[in-house]
């Protein structure tokens, strides 16, 4: 039996027939950075009429998901007030079959049934309208609707069916909700807008072998179904007033752990990995209660977390029942790396922050930053205060500030406040602007206004708008009540200059070394164009200089016009750095003389500069150079300071630069010179590390630093790194000497890279037998590192294989991850993927199993890794083979990418880089 046959046999447990079944196409809503920028024109028809408002929903559902059945049946009594006389009631609904509807008038004398209305449906705006033969006067009514629907198997939003394998290999199914932003209408007709808050009671009829959970605790014992004793109904207590997208319920055979009023749910063969996150949740909720000054349990009696298998959506902050992917919540110290632990902590802190920002106080879709920005910031801030480790805020700089600066620099980006019309447009608002940019802007305000003042302002905001919705003006007013703004400025003016403007500024600093003055000016930073902008940001700034080296965040000045000039007490031969600890969301560019002094300081005395600012200098210089605002040689000389760098944050900033250069120079005449350059940067750091073991006293920063340095060492074929990775991997394969989880990423990837078929199969079996999603993910990525074309093609084939009557041992998400792991690891994977897809039948199978977007992404990623005429020939041959399987737009974009790659060598940047490496010693 060959390698491919063995892999498929392991996956399916039976003989294999490729394409034995077809998956229906996933109808996901697209996530695009600039999607909302096209839809600022307001079309009020997409919002519900204001003539009626909901007050309460009584939702009843029946599911037979235990049998894998996707059909569900339901009814809802919508208690509503008519606030303006009307002859119709309009709700949201999507993909539901309406069976009946009746309207009852609530009067002092009792309930009076009025009508069985007619209905119409507008597919464009997903609105279901009930029409009445006479006008409904103001007052209270109950609209009762019965309906049918289907659990969705592949969507990321709505009422979903998921599955897992138990210890006997039997597939078990569950029903779970994910309603944000417009998915509640897929489970029951409703007023599906976040500011239309109401109370809910939920009851669910399900098989007695399963259990049901929801936002609120169970209200009394389950009730046996009088028609079928195999079914029971679980009834839940009434919720506070909340948005429809926060309603949540799950029907499963999961088990539960508890700690006081906190619970955690997971499948029975993973519940043992849930204890860490249960305890983390207890600590984090308490820290948030202390920080906000508002007690969670004043509003809900419990909070639960649930780990959902094969979950595409990361996590969701449903009030009282937070859903997570398993890899984002479950942590097992015996098999999971430190990164899984960090991810669990920051994700819990993010979702728990939402219990206040978004759940207790809701916001309209156009102001998503008022919940997602707070959750992004406090996901890291509360993690730091809970676990007393500054690295969490370093990670915020990387994953928040640096990412926001990188993604918010195009001309098509949108402001933080932005309107959207359709469901697809609303989905598109969940982007870097709503998360990373907003979190970074809020942190800037927190620092400038002072954390204690900021806390008082947030407390006022939460107290005043609890169980209601708020606008940006409400937030500004609450902050203003606790803050003394600078003279001639208001809090609203300051904050609006950031929330109403697209993009962010670059602060240009030009020194007059003779007069000892500094001229600062602001303009919008754009990475790939020059567009004039007359917008003026209210920019807080401060600076440190070589003499004082003061990087504390205790003083701030403001620039509220295009330019300003002032005197400084700084010697002409001493550097200056603006934006201490990079508290502000803006880049800084200096005159050439100051840049030269900063380069020398970084090389000769890096500790004279705060580690956050060392990272800032690298990140700013790189992006300024990419935008043709700085000579790229400044970036390359700045990086030579890394020979003395022992802090993770500057190295993480440099990692993006080195990865960019590695992509550009791989396979060219400069690759060897680049690798010598990298080796010179990492040598000192590498020899301080024990890359084949984990010491008991290693800090979190030590672990991040070790993985980054050892990854680069092995990537450039450093002999010691390769030998240790191989040795630790072989020791586990042949001597059962387990590789410590915290070094598995490097050990497995570079240990298996040149593995025999038996060794490759050993690692594959590890993945196959693991019940831990995060461990499986790590191993899938490692298997993509192999260099054998046959092993890689067998691995790719296994992801689209199907057993006869037995499902493949991959989740839907893992199938796509196999593809990503192969093309991401190196050119060997790209070439193997080309060979694999250079067969029309295989390409067709991949599209059916992994869906068209995965295939399109594969073509795009092959193109982005194509640097030479020979590699272009291989891509063209592939495109010819697959023909119309690749959409014309995808093909044109791929060829444009290759052209840009090859044109780079003749660009100014490419020539500067080439010259630098030719002369570098």
Active-site residues: which are they?
Answer: 351
Report d(CA 757, CA 778) in Å as an integer: 19
Contact 848, 22 (CB under 8 A): yes
Residue 217 near residue 237 (C-beta atoms within 8 A): yes
Give the separation between CA 106 and CA 117, rounded to whole angstroms: 17
Q: What is the DSSP string of 322-367?
A: EEEEHHHH---TTT--HHHHHHHHHHHHHHHHHTTBTTTEEE-GGG
CA distance 150 to 63: 9
Q: How far lies 383's CA from each of 258, 296, 351, 811, in Å?
A: 21, 18, 12, 30
The residue with tokens 């000054």 is 293
Cis check: omega of the bond before 17, within 30 degrees of 0? no
Residue 849 Cα to chain centre, angstroms: 24
Give the tokens for residue 660.
């960019």
The helix/strand/coil state of 323 is: strand
Number of separate helices (H) and strands (E) present in the chain? 30, 30
Cα 454 from Cα 451, distance rounded (Å): 5
Written as six digits, the tokens of 916 are: 């630098």
Q: What is the dihedral of CA 815, 821, 822, 823, to 10 degrees?
A: 110
Classify residue 445 as exposed, middle or buried by CB count within 10 Å of its CB (0-12, 13-18, 19+).
buried
Handedness of CA 779, 780, 785, 788 (dihedral sign): positive
CA angle 492, 497, 500 (to 5 degrees): 100
Angle ∠(627,433,91) on CA atoms, nearest 5? 145
**What are residue 161's DSSP bridge partners?**
175
Q: Please return the burial class of 506, using the count of CB atoms within 10 Å of its CB with bins 0-12, 13-18 and 19+.
A: buried
Pairing of strands 118-122, 127-136: antiparallel
Residues 770 and 779 sit within 8 Å (Cβ to Cβ): yes
Query: What is the residue whose two structure tokens read 């400084």?
Result: 568
β 505-512/587-590 pair status? parallel
Between CA 680 and CA 916 the distance in angstroms is 14
Alpha-carbon gap, residue 799 to 804, rounded angstroms:
15
Pairwise CA distance, residues 639 & 622, whole Å: 10
- Give the list of residues 6+ apart from residue 276 with CB closer than 8 angstroms, or none: 331, 333, 341, 344
Pairing of β 539-541 and β 557-559: antiparallel
């Amino acid at each position: 039996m060959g390698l491919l046959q063995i892999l498929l046999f392991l996956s399916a447990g039976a003989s294999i027939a490729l394409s034995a079944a077809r998956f229906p196409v996933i109808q996901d809503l697209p996530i695009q950075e600039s999607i909302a920028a096209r839809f600022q024109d307001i079309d009020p028809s997409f919002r519900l009429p204001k003539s009626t408002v909901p007050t309460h929903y009584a939702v009843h559902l029946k599911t037979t998901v235990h049998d894998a059945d996707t059909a569900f049946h339901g009814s809802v009594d919508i208690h509503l007030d008519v606030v303006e006389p009307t002859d119709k009631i309009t709700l949201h609904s999507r993909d539901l079959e309406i069976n009946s509807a009746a309207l009852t008038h609530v009067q002092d004398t009792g309930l009076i049934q009025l009508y069985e209305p007619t209905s119409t449906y507008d597919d464009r705006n997903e609105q279901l309208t009930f029409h009445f033969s006479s006008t409904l006067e103001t007052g209270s009514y109950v609209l009762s609707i019965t309906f049918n629907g289907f659990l969705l198997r592949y969507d990321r939003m709505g009422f979903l069916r998921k599955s897992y394998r138990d210890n006997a290999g039997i597939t078990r199914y569950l029903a779970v909700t994910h309603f944000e932003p417009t998915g509640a209408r897929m489970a029951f007709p409703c007023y599906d807008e976040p500011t239309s808050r109401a109370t809910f009671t939920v009851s669910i009829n399900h098989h007695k072998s399963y259990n049901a959970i929801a936002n609120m605790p169970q209200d009394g014992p389950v009730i046996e179904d009088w028609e079928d004793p195999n079914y029971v109904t679980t009834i839940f207590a009434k919720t506070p007033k909340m948005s429809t997208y926060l309603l949540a319920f799950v029907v499963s055979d999961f088990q539960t752990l508890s700690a006081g009023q906190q619970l955690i749910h997971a499948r029975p063969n993973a519940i043992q990995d849930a204890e860490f996150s249960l305890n983390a949740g207890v600590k984090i909720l308490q820290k948030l209660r202390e920080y906000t000054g508002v007690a969670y349990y004043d509003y809900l009696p419990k909070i639960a977390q649930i780990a959902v298998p094969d979950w595409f959506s990361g996590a969701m902050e449903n009030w009282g029942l937070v859903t997570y992917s398993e890899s984002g919540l479950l942590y097992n110290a015996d098999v999971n790396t430190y990164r899984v632990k960090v991810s669990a902590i920051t994700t819990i802190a993010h979702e728990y922050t939402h219990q206040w920002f978004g759940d207790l106080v809701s916001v309209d879709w156009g102001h998503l930053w008022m919940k997602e920005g707070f959750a992004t910031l406090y996901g890291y801030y509360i993690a730091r205060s809970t676990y007393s480790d500054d690295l969490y805020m370093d990670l915020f700089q990387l994953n928040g500030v640096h990412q926001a600066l990188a993604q918010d620099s195009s001309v098509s980006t949108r402001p933080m406040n932005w309107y959207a019309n359709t469901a697809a447009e609303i989905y598109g608002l969940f982007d870097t602007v709503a998360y990373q940019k907003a979190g970074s802007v809020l942190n800037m305000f927190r620092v400038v206004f002072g954390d204690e003042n900021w806390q008082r302002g947030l407390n006022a905001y939460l107290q005043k708008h609890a169980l209601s919705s708020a606008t940006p003006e409400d937030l500004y007013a609450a902050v203003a009540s606790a803050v003394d703004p600078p003279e001639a400025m208001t809090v609203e003016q300051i904050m609006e200059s950031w929330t109403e403007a697209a993009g962010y500024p670059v602060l240009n600093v030009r020194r007059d070394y003779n007069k000892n003055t500094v001229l600062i000016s602001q303009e919008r930073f754009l990475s790939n164009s020059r567009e004039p902008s007359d917008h003026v940001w209210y920019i807080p700034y401060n600076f440190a200089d070589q003499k004082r080296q003061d990087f504390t965040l205790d003083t701030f000045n403001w620039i509220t016009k295009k330019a300003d000039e002032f005197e400084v007490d700084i010697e002409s031969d001493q550097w200056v750095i603006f934006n201490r600890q990079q508290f502000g969301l803006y880049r800084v560019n200096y005159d050439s003389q100051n840049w030269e002094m900063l380069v020398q300081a970084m090389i000769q005395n890096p500790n004279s500069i705060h580690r956050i600012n060392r990272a800032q200098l690298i990140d700013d210089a790189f992006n300024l150079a990419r935008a043709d605002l700085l000579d790229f040689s400044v970036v390359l000389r700045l990086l030579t300071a890394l020979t003395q760098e022992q802090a993770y944050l500057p190295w993480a900033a440099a990692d993006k630069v080195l990865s960019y250069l590695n992509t550009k120079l791989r396979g060219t005449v400069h690759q060897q010179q680049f690798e010598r350059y990298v080796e010179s940067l990492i040598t000192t750091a590498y020899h301080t590390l024990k890359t084949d073991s984990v010491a008991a006293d290693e800090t979190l920063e030590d672990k991040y630093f070790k993985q980054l340095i050892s990854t680069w060492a092995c990537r450039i074929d450093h002999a010691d790194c390769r030998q240790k990775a191989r040795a630790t991997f072989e020791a586990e394969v042949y001597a059962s000497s387990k590789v410590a989880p915290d070094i598995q990423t490097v050990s497995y990837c570079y240990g298996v890279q040149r593995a025999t078929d038996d060794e490759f199969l050993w690692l594959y079996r590890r993945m196959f037998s693991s019940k831990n999603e995060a461990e499986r993910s790590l191993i899938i990525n490692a298997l993509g590192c192999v260099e054998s074309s046959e092993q890689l093609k067998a691995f790719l084939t296994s992801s689209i294989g199907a057993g006869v009557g037995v499902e493949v041992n991959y989740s839907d998400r893992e199938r796509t991850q196999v593809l990503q792991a192969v093309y991401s690891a190196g050119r060997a994977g790209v070439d193997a993927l080309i060979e694999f897809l250079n067969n029309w039948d295989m390409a067709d199978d991949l599209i059916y199993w992994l869906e068209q977007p995965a295939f399109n992404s594969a073509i795009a990623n092959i193109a982005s890794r194509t640097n030479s005429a020979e590699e272009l020939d291989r891509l063209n041959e592939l495109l010819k083979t697959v023909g119309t399987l690749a959409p014309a737009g995808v093909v044109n974009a791929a060829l444009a990418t290759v052209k840009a790659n090859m044109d780079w060598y003749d660009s100014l940047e490419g020539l500067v880089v080439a010259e630098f490496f030719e002369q570098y010693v």
